[in-house]
Copies of this chain bind each other. A is one copy, B any other.
Amino acid sequence: MAQPIKFGIVGCADIARKLSRAIKLAPNATIVAVGSRFEEKARRFIADNGLPATTRPYGSYESLLDDAEVDAVYLPLPTSLHLRWAVAAAGKGKHILIEKPTALCVADLDQILEACETNGVQFMDCTMWAHHPRTAEMEDFLRNSDQFGQLKIVSSIASIYADSNFLQNNIRVKADLDSLGALGDVGWYCIRAILWASDYNLPKTAVAFPNAIKNEAGLILSCGASLHWEDGTIATFHCSFLAHLTFELVVVGSRGNLSLSDFVIPFEENSAPFTFVSDSGFKELVKGWKSLPSKKVVSTELPQEALMITEFSRLVGEIKDSGAKPEKKWSVFSRKTQVVLDAVKESIEKEFKEVEIVG
* Chain A interface, number of residues (Cβ within 8 angstroms): 63
Q: Which of A35-43, A92-100, A111-119, A251-259 contacts B (4 or more CB under 8 A)?
A: A251-259
Chain A 26-67 per-residue mask, 1 if CB under 8 angstroms from chain B, else 0? 000000000000000000000000000000000000000000
Task: Return chain B residues, CB-CB under 8 Å to A275.
Answer: 261
**Are B236 and A246 in contact, CB atoms less than 8 angstroms apart?**
no
Q: Nearest residue in B to A287 (C-beta to C-beta)?
A: B269
Inter-chain CA distance A275–B209, complex, in Å, is 27
Interface residue from B254, B267, B277 paired with A242 (Cβ < 8 Å): B254
Chain A 137-176 per-residue mask, 1 if CB under 8 angstroms from chain B, else 0? 0000000000001001101010101000000000000000
**Are A159 and B153 in contact, CB atoms less than 8 angstroms apart?**
yes
Inter-chain CA distance A55–B243, complex, in Å, is 54
Q: How far is the CB of A54 from chain B (nearest CB, A)?
A: 23
Task: Return chain B residues, CB-CB under 8 Å to A213.
Answer: 232
**With A211-B228, A232-B213 in contact, is A246–B252 under 8 Å at CB?**
yes
Interface residue from B207, B245, B254, B293 paired with A243 (Cβ < 8 Å): B254
Q: Which of A244, A257, A275 neighbours the largest number of chain B CB atoms within 10 Å of its CB?
A: A244
Inter-chain CA distance A211–B226, complex, in Å, is 11
**Are B244 and A269 in contact, CB atoms less than 8 angstroms apart?**
no
**Are A262 and B244 in contact, CB atoms less than 8 angstroms apart?**
no
**With A18-B285, A152-B242, A268-B288 in contact, is A261–B259 under 8 Å at CB?**
yes
Task: Return chain B residues, CB-CB under 8 Å to A336.
Answer: none
Interface residue from B246, B259, B288 paired with A266 (Cβ < 8 Å): B288
Q: How far is the CB of A234 from chain B (nearest CB, A)?
A: 6
**Are B268 and A259 in contact, CB atoms less than 8 angstroms apart?**
no
A289 interface residue (CB < 8 Å to B)? yes
Interface residue from B149, B243, B303 paired with A253 (Cβ < 8 Å): B243
Interface residue from B265, B288, B303 paired with A282 (Cβ < 8 Å): B265
A354 interface residue (CB < 8 Å to B)? yes
A320 interface residue (CB < 8 Å to B)? no
**Are A244 and B277 in contact, CB atoms less than 8 angstroms apart?**
yes
Q: Nearest residue in B to A236 (C-beta to C-beta)?
A: B236
Taking A152-B242, A155-B248, A236-B236 as known contacts, 5 extra A-B pairs with beta carbons closer than 8 A to each other, sorted by chain A number, are A207-B209, A232-B242, A236-B238, A267-B293, A287-B303
The interface of chain A, by Cβ under 8 A from chain B, is: 17-18, 21, 149, 152-153, 155, 157, 159, 161, 205, 207, 209-211, 213, 222, 224, 226, 228, 232, 234, 236, 238, 240, 242-246, 248, 250, 252-257, 259, 261-262, 265-269, 275, 277-282, 285-289, 292-293, 303, 352, 354
A-B contact pairs, 14 of them (CB 8 A): A17-B285, A18-B285, A153-B243, A153-B246, A155-B250, A161-B281, A209-B228, A224-B236, A245-B280, A245-B282, A246-B252, A261-B275, A265-B286, A265-B289
